[in-house]
Structure formats: structure tokens, C-alpha cells
Structure 1
Amino acid sequence: MGINTSFCWCFILVLLWFQSQGCLEEERAALLQIKDSMGSYLSSAFSNWYVKECCDWEGVVCDPSHTRIQRIFFPHLRSDDSEPWFPNATLFAEFKDLRELELPGNHIGGFISIQELRHLDLSGNSFNGNLPMFFTDQLQMLDLSNNQFQGEIPYSIKSNMSCLLYLGLSQNNLTGDLFPKNSSLPNLRWLHLNNNRLSGTFPYALSKSMKLRILDIQNNELSENAVGYLPDGSRNGFVFTFKGRRLIFKGVLLSFPMGVDVSCNRLAGKIPIQMTRLKGIRILNVSNNLLTGQIPSSLGNLENLESLDLSHNNFFGVLPHELVGLPVLEIFNVSFNNLSGMIPIANQFGTFLNDSYLGNPDLCGQPLSIKCNGSTETPPIYARAEKSVSIMYFAVLIGLFFIVICLE
């Protein structure tokens, strides 16, 4: 009898617990108001919002107890043709445990700030003016890329957000210093500042960060001193952007970054000597700058280099013979400079196409159609190999012919 009574009480408690679960009414009402403010034409984007339990709604994630909303995710629901959306910040204040707010690509015109947020993604919207300064220091991910923000990066972002792991400010109109010397974001792992008008140098404090994995600063207005401090790179992997592709290298501890892309800036003068000392580097891209002087022969010491892009600069002189000794070089581009002399043909240089050398009127030799004056042009290695093979086959056929004659 006692066992049956205990079982009944347990059963009743379980029923009461299940009945107590479910999203709070005030949060459910706030979600519906947010939906209405986004525009009635979006009804198809919220196709399952007819059920009572809002924790099951599309774009909504609740805590394990299924009572409070922790994440709101509405990506690219409003087109650029619609009127700008100015969300009512008081509605978002109803979500006491909200940790992640992601509203990319919704043509938002007004800003949202919630103190307890950990992730805030407002990329691809219609913000303009200066960057806000009232971010919580608890943020771990902040993405404001692909907007129309102007002015400098606020000090509150650069120095007072010790928890920040991801910072995305790319594709805006930001100006001023890349980062001031006293910037310190000790836990930063991903930094995207590309496609702005930033200048200055990479901060010493960030260069010593052992946690930085992604660095993208291409398409800015960086000067020749911008790369004075490159990330230390003593880590298991380093990711960077190269010609629009994200490349990832992992597995081997190195004392320098695996790749550097500072293309499309205003770097002037000679190639910084720091770049020629990056022994573990695999990709180096300094294209579309104002660099000049001769291509340093010390680049031939970068034995792990797989891709070297020096195009669209003002380099002059001959191609250093030391580059021929790079054992794993697969991509090479020195087009549109002022280089002269004969193109090397040894090793992998016999495989590069003429696109690698265009825009250098004084370069000559294969694969270009311009022959070098006063020299007998030597065909590329692969061409000589094909010719040797043809001669060998011809000799074999002649030998077989005479063998047949003798047998007869």
C-alpha cells in the first residue's frame, strides 16, 4: 500500500512539473510583437508560429527547462527593398535570459543593446553613423560587418571587452587607426577588419596573442609600417583570407603565422624585412600595393612557401634565381610590375603560365612570346622532356625497323 501511494505521488509531481514547463507568456507576446513589427509579408517565414509553445517556434531556442528564451535567430528575412526596420528595444528587454541575438540581413535601421548578451550579430543591415559605444563587456561575439558605419573604432570595443572572441567590422567605412598601441583583447580569436579605410599599424599587444586564429585586414589604407608587428603565430592553426578564400592550416607548431595577406592597401617602399623571416609561412600576398625596389633574394629562404603573389606593385630588376629553389611553390604571380631579364625555367618555374608575368614589358623568355635578345632561348623543362621522349620513341622505331630487315 505504501509503495502504491508513493508511486501515485511521484506520478502527480511529474504531471505538475510537465504542466509548469513552456515559454513564459510575456516572452511569447513579445515575440509576436517583434514579428508584426518586421512586416506582415513575412508570414511564410514564421510558418510554425501557430503552435502555443513558443520554444518550438522557428528561430527560437529556449533553455534546457524549456521556459526561457536564450537565442533569437532571424537571418535575412527582410529585403533591402523594404522600409528600414527600427526594432523596439523594450520588446527585447522582456527576454531576461537572452544570450544570443542574431538578426543579419534584415535592413535594420535602429540599434539594439541588451546587457546580458553573449552573441550579437547585426551584420548586413542598414546602420550608418558612428559605431555605438555601449556594448556589454560580456560579449563574446560581435558582428557588425557589411553595414555603413563610419568614423573610428570606439575605445570601448578595442580595450574594454576582455571576453571578446570574435570581432567582425569588415565592409564598412571605418577610418582612423587599425588599433591603438594600448589595445588589449586577450581572448580574441577572430578579427575581421577588411574593406574599410583603416590605417596605422598592427598593435604590439595583439601581435603577442597566442589565441588569434583569423586575421583579415585586406583592402584598407595601411602604410608601409602597418606590418611592423605581425601575429606571433605560435599555435596549432592559423586562418587568414587569401583572394576571397578562407584557408586553414593546422597540426604543426610554428613560430610564425602560416600566411599573410596585406593586399589592396597602400604599403610603400621595399618588402618589410619581417616578411622574409617568416620561416613557416605558406602563402604571402602583398599584391595591389605601392611596393618598390628589387624582389629580395631572401624570399628564397621561405622553403615552405606554396603561393607568392607580388603582382600590381612597382618592383624592378630581375627575378631572383633563389626563387627557383623554393621546393613546394605552386602559385606565383609577379604580373604588372617593372621587372626585366629572362624568366627562370628550372624546377617548378617551367610550369607557370604567362598570366604570372604579364605587364612586365622587359621580361622575356618562356612562357611569354617575347624572346630574349642575343640569347638562344631554352625551352621549358617540360618541353625538353617531351622532345626527349619523342626522340627516344623515334630511335626505338628505327631500331625495330632494322631488326625486321635483318630477320628477313
Structure 2
Amino acid sequence: MCGSKRVWVSELIFILLVVKGWWSEGCLEQERSALLQLKRFFNGDLRLQNWVDDEYYLDCCLWEGVECNNTTGRVIKLDLAQTRNWESEEWYMNASLFTPFQQLESLDLIENNIAGCVENEGLEKLSRLNNLKFLHLDYNSFNNSIFSSLGGLSSLRHLSLFGNRLNGSIDIKGLESLSNLEELDMSDNAIDNLVVPKDFRGLRKLNILYLGGRENAMIDGRQVLQSIGSLPSLKTLFLWYTNFMGTVVNQELHNFTNLEGLILYKSDLHVSQLLPSIASFTSLKYLSMLDSVLKGALHGQDFRKFKNLEHLDMGWVQVNVNTSFFQIVGKSMSSLKFLSLTSSSLNKNAILDQGLCQLVHLQELYIGRNDLRGSLPWCLANMTSLQVLDASSNQLTGNISPGLCELVLLRELYIDYNDLRGSLPWCLANMTSLQVLNASYNQLTGNISPGLCELVLLRELYIDYNDFGGSLRWCLANTTSLQVLDASCNQLIGNISPSLCELVLLRELYIDNNDLRGSLPLCLANLTSLRVLDVSYNQLSENISSSLMHLMLMLKSARPWTDQILSPTFMLSTVCSNH
């Protein structure tokens, strides 16, 4: 009796779901027809090949680029990015074609060569779509006139106009009614300035703004900061190709109390004028000047007021850095978690300034591609929060400091392309979080450290182009997470250990240009993930060619489903230049 009652209740619920429209058996016919009409204008992409009036493709919710609500069957997302044949001329779109999709939440029209809309059928027609939240119009040919047609889209949260034909001064008064907009991208346009009327009350929820010119048409950063001060919710500001000319006075910046992130990419910046100005952004946590030109000398005292800063990116910045930079930054910016000074023309003695070690909360440090000399200081052991350290491509000398072994949270360590000597310390075994170790292109000697065998999370190990001797350790079998092992161009001797066959995740193995002898262990055929094997320029037995062929056949037979592209590669390297 109870079982019958359950069946009856289940059937009743099913009937109610269907009658009330709470259950979907596919897309609505009128929306399916509207999609077929749309296809006529997006003619250059095979992704729409299943948009056909065919009994095998009746459910348009399964069509490429279409997403429906699982319950109602109404279309909620249309991805038509790059679906227009680029050999076609610019065209004008009829925005009314999208109005049948009454529940549409996201519309992606990126890179379709759209120059605008036909007369009386502009983007204002999308105001009928009360649920539209995401509108992506990047890489088209819209000009400034687009702003007058966007005002009615009050439900929008994200609007992207990256890489269009916006130019000159942009008056955003037309966006005043976009009361729910949270993110606006107008970067990669030829914009000179952003004009915001003094009585402007729109964009009250705008959190993220992308703005910027192009390399040959930079935007005036000073005027931009003056203009957007009336956007009270702004938390992140991206400025590309910006030129800060003249002093930005503090009264122009008093409204930026909520700004947490400032990204100045490929910009021309005046150190003495800019940094004191943005120091008034009391909530600033993220500052990037990536690939910019900083005019004037950069002194550590320029950062004294950035006490809350957590992320500082000055990678590929052209600047003259004062030797006291690290010392003052270490004392003034104790909250830093990320610091990048990659390829930033650091003074060659700066690394010896141990003020850097005071950044005890730092999690990522990038100081590669500079002219740093001397040795890595012992005091790095104080930076116990460090997870990534990149000191590659410098002129560091001396032994690898055992202080590094205290960094038990370190996941990635890059010390390649230096002049480090001595051996890899045994205490590396303490670095149990390490996943990537690159110590290649140094002058390291001795046997391969047994400490490496304790690193069970290690995924990539590069110790090539050194002078390591001895044999490949059996205990490397313990590093079961290893995917790439490069020990080429060393002085390794002995047989190739069958323990390598325990590394079942290994994808690439380079042990060429050593003094290895014997034959290849055929158990390497068990490494079904192996894609690259290089054993050239060793002293392996005369039947190495047949061993390689046998191994290759065994690998292929173990994986008959792999095509030629994914087949293992047996490489023949050139002789190492330092051997």
C-alpha cells in the first residue's frame, strides 16, 4: 500500500512540474527558430554546423554555443565568439534578433567584425532582456556612438568593449542608468580621456574598470584619475598604455579610499610624481607596474607609506633602483605577500642587502633575469612563508645556502643559469612541499643529493648542465610524483637504474651526455605516460639501437590507442657545450 502511494505522489509531482513549466524536455520552438535565423548572420565557424532544422538536432539546448536553463528549457547563454567569417566585410547587426531569448543572461559576440547596428535596431533593443548580465563585444569595430544605445541595459553587470574603435574623449554619461554594472572594460582602444560629468550619479556599483590606449596612442593618466574619482565603489583599476604627465595632486585622489588594486601596464610613469600621489590610496593592496618605464631613480623611501600593500609587481620595469631599495622595503612593507622584480635592472649589489629577509609574510619572490651577484643570503631562512622563489638568470656564486632548507612551504625553486658551486645540500629533504626544482646551468658537483629522494611531491627536477658525478640514485623511485627528470650534460656513471621504472607518471626523461653504461632497462616500457626519452651520447652497450627499437615497440604495444603524434620520442641530442 505504501509503495503504491509513493508512485502516485511521484506521478502527481511530475504532472505539476510539466503543467507549471518547471520541467524541460528541450528548448522552446520559438527560440529554436530564432537561433536558426541568427545563424544566417554568423557564417564562418564550424561550431554552428549542428544548428540545423533536422530531426536529429531538435533540441537546440544541445547546440554548440547554446546553454539553457535545465528546468525551463529557455536559452540563458549564447556564445557566438568568432563565428563570423573574417574574410567578410564589416557588417551592421540587427540587435532585435536576440529579443526572443527572454531569459538570456550572457551574450558573447567577440571578434565578429561588427561595425555597429542597423538603424532603429541597435543595442537598445536588448533592454527588453531583463536578465541580461554579461555582454561581451570585444574585438569588433564599434565606435563612440555605441554608448548612446547602452543606457537602457540596466540589468548589465559586466560589459566588455576591449579592442574596438573607441577614440578620443569618451563621455560616459550615456552609461548613467547602468546601475548594476560591476565591471567595465574599454582597454585597447585609442581613448585619450574619460569624461565624467561633475553631477554624474551612475555606475555606483562599478568595482572593476579596464581603461587604456595603445602603444602609439597613450591615455593621459592624470586626467583619468581626475575623472573617475566620482566612482565610489571602484576597487580595481587597470590602466594600459598610460602616460602620467605632471603631478597628480592629492585633492584629485581623495575619493579613491576603496581602491584595492592598481595595474599600470606598459605605461610611462614618473617616480617622483606618481608614487607619492598613489600613496594616498589607503586601501591599496595590489600594485603592478609590469613592463613600464619609470623615469627617475627609485628609492626605497618612495614606498614608505605603502604599509598595507600585499602585491607589488615591477617585472620588466625599466628603472634605476637605489641600492637601499630592499632594506627600506623590508622595513616599510611588512605586509607584502608577492614581490616581482624580474628583469628590472636591479643594482648588482642589491641582493647582498639583507633587508629583503624581513619580509616574513612574503609567499612569492621573483628576482630573476637581473645582474645580481654574490650569494643567496642565509637570512632567507627567515622567510618561512615563501612558496615560490625565482632567482634564475643572475650571476650568483658560492654554495647553495642551507638556509633554503628552512623554507618548508616552498613549492617552486628556480636557481638555474647562475654560477653556483658545491653540491645540492642533503637538507633539501626538509623541503617536503617542493614540486619544482630547477638548478640547471650552474657548476654544481658531487653526487646527486639523497635528500631529493625524500621529496615525494616533486613533479619536475632539472639538474642538467652541471658536473654531478656518481650514479642515478635508486632512491629516486620514492619521488613517485615525478613527471620531468632532466639530468643531461653531467658526469653520471654506472648503469641506468631500473628504479626509474617506478616513476609511473614520468613524461620526459633526459639523461643524455653522461657516461652511463650497460643497456636500457626494458621495464621502462611500463612507463605508459612516457613521451620523451633521450639517452644519447653515453657509453651504452653496442646493441643500444635494438634495445631502443624493442623498447619503442613495447611502449607502443602497451598503448595501441595512441596515435603517431602521441608516440614516444627517442631523441638524439647534440653534444653539450660544457663537456
CA-CA distance at 1:282 after TM superposition: 1.5
Give the aligned partner of residue 102 of structure 1.
Answer: 262
CA-CA distance at 1:273 after TM superposition: 3.0
- Matched residue SS, 1:383: helix
Give the aligned partner of residue 364 of structure 2.
Answer: 190
CA-CA distance at 1:123 after TM superposition: 1.3
> 8 Å contact 1:219–1:265 — kept in the other structure?
no
- Matched residue SS, 1:324: helix
In the alignment, is residue 145 of structure 1 matched against residue 318 of structure 2?
no
Give the aligned partner of residue 394 of structure 2.
Answer: 220
Give the aligned partner of residue 11 of structure 1.
Answer: none
Aligned partners of 2:478, 2:374: CA distance in 1, in Å? Answer: 27
Aligned partners of 1:172, 1:188: CA distance in 2, in Å? Answer: 19
CA 1:127 to 1:188, structure 2 compared with 1: closer, same or farther past 3 Å? same
- Matched residue SS, 1:127: strand
Aligned partners of 1:386, 1:264: CA distance in 2, in Å? Answer: 31
Aligned partners of 2:557, 2:438: CA distance in 1, in Å? Answer: 42
CA 1:357 to 1:372, structure 2 compared with 1: closer, same or farther past 3 Å? same
CA-CA distance at 1:165 after TM superposition: 1.3
CA-CA distance at 1:141 after TM superposition: 1.5
- Matched residue SS, 2:268: coil
Using the TM superposition, name which of 91-100 and 140-149 deviates more.
Answer: 91-100
In the alignment, is residue 317 of structure 1 matched against residue 481 of structure 2?
no
1:68-147 equivalences under 5 Å are 68=232, 71-78=235-242, 85-86=244-245, 88-90=247-249, 93-95=253-255, 97=257, 99-111=259-271, 112-113=274-275, 114-115=279-280, 116=282, 117-127=284-294, 131-134=298-301, 135=303, 136=305, 137-147=307-317
Give the aligned partner of residue 176 of structure 1.
Answer: 349
1:356 to 514, 517, 533: 533
Report the AA paired with residue 240 of structure 2.
Answer: H
Aligned partners of 1:381, 1:39: CA distance in 2, in Å? Answer: 52
1:165 to 330, 333, 337: 337
1:337 to 497, 501, 513: 513
Q: Deviations over 1:239-296 (max 9, x none)?
A: 67899xxxxxxxxxx9622323334553432367375254334234335543432345
In the alignment, is residue 42 of structure 1 matched against residue 191 of structure 2?
yes
Give the aligned partner of residue 211 of structure 1.
Answer: 385
CA-CA distance at 1:339 after TM superposition: 3.3
Aligned partners of 1:293, 1:186: CA distance in 2, in Å? Answer: 37
> 8 Å contact 1:222–1:265 — kept in the other structure?
no
1:230-249 equivalences under 5 Å are 230=404, 232=406, 234=408, 238=411
Aligned partners of 1:321, 1:172: CA distance in 2, in Å? Answer: 43
Which structure would you say has the larger RCO, counting Cα contacts within 8 Å and 6 or more residues apart? 1
CA-CA distance at 1:155 after TM superposition: 1.2
2:476 to 288, 300, 310: 300
CA 1:41 to 1:96, structure 2 compared with 1: closer, same or farther past 3 Å? closer
CA-CA distance at 1:207 after TM superposition: 3.5
- Paired-residue identity, %: 12
Aligned partners of 2:196, 2:518: CA distance in 1, in Å? Answer: 68
Aligned partners of 2:457, 2:484: CA distance in 1, in Å? Answer: 10
CA 1:198 to 1:265, structure 2 compared with 1: closer, same or farther past 3 Å? farther
CA 1:154 to 1:387, structure 2 compared with 1: closer, same or farther past 3 Å? closer
Report the AA paired with residue 309 of structure 2.
Answer: L
Report the AA paired with residue 260 of structure 1.
Answer: V
- Matched residue SS, 2:393: coil
What is the RMSD computed on CA atoms of the aligned residues? 4.6
> 8 Å contact 2:358–2:383 — kept in the other structure?
no
Using the TM superposition, name which of 190-199 and 163-172 deviates more.
Answer: 190-199
Aligned partners of 1:306, 1:109: CA distance in 2, in Å? Answer: 44
Count of residue correspondences: 325
CA-CA distance at 1:302 after TM superposition: 3.6
CA-CA distance at 1:298 after TM superposition: 5.7
Q: Deviations over 1:271-330 (max 9, x none)?
A: 673752543342343355434323452652543341343355433424541642533341
- Matched residue SS, 2:515: strand
Using the TM superposition, name which of 265-274 and 302-311 deviates more.
Answer: 265-274
Unaligned residue ranges in structure 1 (runs of 5+):
1-30, 33-37, 79-83, 244-253, 389-408
CA 1:255 to 1:387, structure 2 compared with 1: closer, same or farther past 3 Å? closer
TM-score, length-scaled by structure 1: 0.61
> 8 Å contact 1:269–1:293 — kept in the other structure?
yes
2:328 to 156, 167, 170: 156
> 8 Å contact 1:324–1:346 — kept in the other structure?
no
Aligned partners of 1:226, 1:240: CA distance in 2, in Å? Answer: 12
- Matched residue SS, 2:524: helix
Q: Deviations over 1:174-197 (max 9, x none)?
A: 233646556221211222223333
Report the AA paired with residue 333 of structure 2.
Answer: M
CA 1:56 to 1:262, structure 2 compared with 1: closer, same or farther past 3 Å? same
> 8 Å contact 1:103–1:122 — kept in the other structure?
yes
CA 1:326 to 1:315, structure 2 compared with 1: closer, same or farther past 3 Å? farther
Aligned partners of 1:311, 1:150: CA distance in 2, in Å? Answer: 38
Give the aligned partner of residue 8 of structure 1.
Answer: none
Report the AA paired with residue 340 of structure 2.
Answer: G
